[in-house]
Chain A
Amino acid sequence: MTTDLAPGPKVDPKIAATADFLDTRLGISKMFKGLGRKLFPDHWSFLLGEIALYSFIVLILSGTFLVFFFVPSMNEIHYPHDALPVTMQGQPMSEAFASTLNLSFHVRGGLFMRQLHHWSALIFVGAMVIHMLRILFTGAFRKPRELNYLIGFLMLITSLLAGLTGYSLPDDVLSGNGLRITDGVVRSIPIIGSYMSFMVFGGEFPGMDVIPRMYALHILFIPGLILALVAVHLFLVFWHKHTQYPGPGRTDKNVVGFPLFPIYVAKAGGFFFIVFGILGLMGATMSINNVWNYGPFDPALVGAGAQPDWYMLFLEGSLRLMPGWEVVIGGFTLSLNVLIPAVVIPGLLFTILGAYPFIHNLVTKDTGEHHVLDRPRNAPTRTAIIVAVLSAFFVLLGAGANDLIATHFSLSLNAITWAFRILFFVLPVVAFVVTKRVCFGLQRKDRELVLHGHETGRVVRFASGEYAEVHQPLDEFERWVLVGQDLPKPLEIEPAEDVNGVRRPGHTKELRRQNLSRFFYEERVEPVTPAELAAAHATGAHDALPASAGRDVHELEARSH
């Protein structure tokens, strides 16, 4: 009887037994049926979030190693005379700093783990920022993903806190200076500032409490919070299904891509090892945060070129740009020179960043679900706003490194500072206008391409003497991407007074909203409509000249020479 059965795929009995064991206890076959067939669209920019996730895993693994050897204590000891490095022998320092040196120089693989941890942190925050920019540029934050955007934003803020607390742990001069600046920023907050500073440091800066406190936050609370947010974030990605770039057959009602199993399990799993490998290479070959060069913290010391890690550099930059304004009100000093650059500016930046999807909803009154992404050129105002904010961010980064720019390019520090002060206000405006124009230009180029096809570089002459270039019409797959965009219309409101001359209630509020909507959507380049396409094909016959006809004319032209 068995010989009559169709030969199925041969399964190793051991694998079959294991699968059966797991299936009867965990129901994995159901999981595979459901999750394994889930589709994900393919694009390199969808892997940016994965870089952040994987570097976070590397952070947890390397961080766990460091916890075994780090002593979070500010008790003073003298570094042993027989321990490396030579320059630290016999120096007074905190146990935190001594244990950092010990794990760097005397624990096997310790320095590698420290460097791996620090490089992963830089890449982790960097990947999150680039991922967020991708989301903003392509409009992936639109309904139904606003809340998931907010969770991602919270992860970014939490990670900045993780970076700040981690950077402060080794108790070297740079980390101590970073804490001193944090202390100054907290104190600049009116009324509650000095109380908050005493609360954070358990007394006068630096005190004995701050490193144990930062340690608890850094190794327990913050990573736990990030992990929880990661879980919700990923669940929502599954729940909402992944967005996709516009392409043939892709709509807001489907997902075109490859199944999770086996394609994406292999791709994502492989990518984890690639990320781990690249981070490992960086940790093994590129030195980072050489604390033994900075030495143990001493509030009196500072070195030239003292800057925070890149994700805090914009704050350093805004502090460096700010003129020294102070106001004394009734005997109390209001330190505008710290309050504005270190509290107001980042506060504004992060509020706009976090609230952007909701601002978008408010402006567009868009209630539809969006699963197909925008090409950045098709949302010119939004793209221009992002570029403008980015340009201000880059000015602040440059200002944070103004001393290095001065020494490496032989410039005057004072001139650079003034240039950045002006650029901080001027560059975003220029960037906004230029980006918007570039977007419109690209949209017009898309229209041109759809209406007339690709240039072929073949110029033909007709019998009448007219010259024309032969254009290759687009196939419909290519055309899909160029005409599919859905541009919201600017809001149209009813007139201020009705036919009887009675003022309409709530008109001014609507007028404000209309102005905002016009700012976003009034100036526009419409995508090509089918009617326009048909008209172009009918009138511009020579543009769509078949290749063979073109060649005939070409030969005619050649003969005439």
Chain B
Amino acid sequence: MKALAASRRHRLAPVILMTLALFLTGAVYAALAPSSAQANSASADDIEEGRRLFITNCSTCHGMDAEGSDTVPSLIGVGAASVHFQVITGRMPMDADAPQAGAKPPQFNDEQARQLAAYVATLGPGPGIPGEDVVDPELGNAAEGMQLFRTNCAMCHNFVGAGGALSNGKYAPALDDSTPIEIYEAMITGPQSMPVFNNANLNEEDKRNIIAFLISQREPNPGGFNLGSIGSVSEGVWAFLVGFGLLIGAAVWIGARSS
């Protein structure tokens, strides 16, 4: 006891105590915090709540049993990931009959989206919502991701994911606001015009590398303003707006003392 009392005033004591306190807080948090809901670990209450949300919000188009129709896809077997992606990005419920359901502010929060996903997942087996570590960009390799992105994604989404046009009013959206989970879910479920990239052609590590590349693109451009990252056309527009705007302004100023 005496030794402990003496070391109480040791100069490293506050550091050690603080470290211990942080560990303790972390351990208590890990034990008590609600674990992130997984489609396969959803409780019966969640599924029931999801069914209620589905009946109220989705069944008008997709049918009471999610069986779909001639113009509306069936949701049996699409999996939790698909439902979670469509709902959390605001694409579903769809607001207008457009060539493509666009992203908009979501109508449901993440908990409700996961409940809906859990309900649809009970209708047939499909890809589930990924865990945090599966999509963690910190664990991915951006250089490998860029190679994969250039080979598989850039022809529609542009070199850095700024988006691009498809035929007849459809488009590949910009990816600069998408969360890692959304990017992963889009790859595994292939929403709308997008092809499915299942684990046979891009395995989990590949997907994580792509996510790492896309997240690394959000850092500031070393060259200055990125001008929308859409290439030469915007550069030309800026050359004429800013460059010739200033140059001709200066020319008018110099030539202004005209006789």
Q: Tell me whether chain A's interface is mostly helix, strand or loop, or mixed.
A: helix
Complex Cα distance, B150 from A298, in Å, reads 10
Which chain A residues lie closer than 8 Å to B156 at the CB level?
304
Stretch at the interface among A190-198, A274-282, A535-543: A274-282
Nearest to B236 among chain A residues (CB) is A310
By a CB distance below 8 angstroms, the chain A residues around B195 are none
Instruction: Contact check, A89 vs B143: say whether CB atoms are below 8 A apart.
Output: yes
Whether A304 pairs with B247 at a CB distance below 8 angstroms is: no
Instruction: Return B250 CB to nearest CB of chain A, in Å.
Output: 5
Q: Are B235 and A289 in contact (CB under 8 A)?
A: yes
Q: Are A87 and B142 in contact (CB under 8 A)?
A: yes
In the complex, which range does the number of interface residues on chain A fall in? 35 or more
Known: A302-B155, A304-B156, A310-B239. A173 touches B143 (CB 8 A): no
Bound-complex Cα distance A247 to B243 (A): 31
A91 within 8 A of B: yes
Interface centre among B217, B235, B240 (most CB of A within 10 A): B235
CA distance A22 to B259 in the complex (A): 35
Tell me, rounded to whole Å, the shortest Cβ–Cβ distance linking A276 to chain B.
11
Interchain nearest-CB distance for A77 vs B (Å): 15
Contacts A86-B142, A119-B239, A123-B243 given: A305-B223 contact, CB under 8 Å? no
Distance to closest chain A CB from B116 (angstroms):
28
Q: Are B255 and A44 in contact (CB under 8 A)?
A: yes
How far is A65 from B238 in the complex, measured between Cα atoms in Å? 25
A299 within 8 A of B: no
Is B167 interfacial (CB 8 A cutoff)?
yes
Q: Is A534 an interface residue when CB atoms closer than 8 A count as contact? A: no
* A407-B227 CB under 8 A given contacts A123-B244, A288-B235: no
B233 touches A313 (CB 8 A): yes
* Residue numbers in B under 8 Å from A47 (CB-CB): 251, 254-255
B147 at interface (Cβ–Cβ under 8 A)?
yes
Across chains A and B, the number of contacting residue pairs, with CB separation under 8 Å, is: 199
Contact of B165 among A46, A308, A413 (CB under 8 A): A413
CB pair B233 A122 closer than 8 Å:
no
Q: Is A414 interfacial (CB-CB < 8 Å)?
A: yes
**Is the pair B225, A286 in contact by a Cβ cutoff of 8 Å?**
yes
By a CB distance below 8 angstroms, the chain B residues around A46 are 255
Roughly how many angstroms separate A278 CA and B165 CA in the complex, as a whole number?
34
Considering only CB atoms and an 8 Å cut-off, how many residues of chain B contact the other chain? 61
Give B219-254 interface residues, CB cut-off 8 Å to A.
221-227, 229-236, 238-240, 242-244, 246-248, 250-252, 254
Contacts A89-B143, A126-B239: A413 and B230 contacting too (C-beta < 8 A)? no
A403 at the interface (CB under 8 A from B): yes
Are B165 and A130 in contact (CB-based, < 8 A)?
no
Please tell me if the beta carbons of A51 and B99 are within 8 angstroms of each other in the complex.
Answer: no
Contact A285 B224 (CB under 8 A): yes
* In the bound complex, CA of A348 to CA of B145 (Å): 45
Tell me the complex Cα distance, A353–B229, Å. 34
Q: Is B194 an interface residue (CB 8 A)?
A: no
How far is it, in angstroms, between the C-alpha of A51 and the C-alpha of B238 when the chains are bound?
17
Question: Quick check: is A336 within 8 A (CB to CB) of the other chain?
Answer: no
Known interface pairs A282-B243, A287-B221, A304-B163; A44-B248 also in contact (CB < 8 Å): yes
**Stretch with Cβ within 8 A of A (4 or more), from B65-73, B168-176, B197-205:** B168-176
Q: Any chain B CB within 8 A of the CB of A480?
A: no
Closest Cβ of chain A to B35, distance in Å, is 33
* Known contacts A122-B239, A173-B150, A309-B236: A406-B224 contact under CB 8 Å: no
Nearest first, the 9 closest Cβ-Cβ pairs linking A and B are A304-B164, A287-B223, A310-B236, A44-B255, A403-B165, A406-B165, A412-B169, A303-B154, A47-B251
Give 30 A-B contacts (CB < 8 Å), ordered by A residue: A42-B255, A44-B251, A44-B256, A46-B255, A85-B222, A87-B142, A88-B146, A90-B143, A104-B222, A111-B223, A118-B235, A127-B244, A267-B254, A285-B224, A290-B221, A293-B217, A301-B150, A301-B154, A304-B155, A304-B165, A305-B164, A305-B233, A308-B232, A309-B232, A309-B235, A310-B232, A400-B233, A401-B233, A407-B171, A413-B165
Chain B interface (Cβ within 8 Å of chain A)? 99, 142-143, 145-147, 150-151, 154-160, 162-169, 171-172, 213, 216-217, 221-227, 229-236, 238-240, 242-244, 246-248, 250-252, 254-259
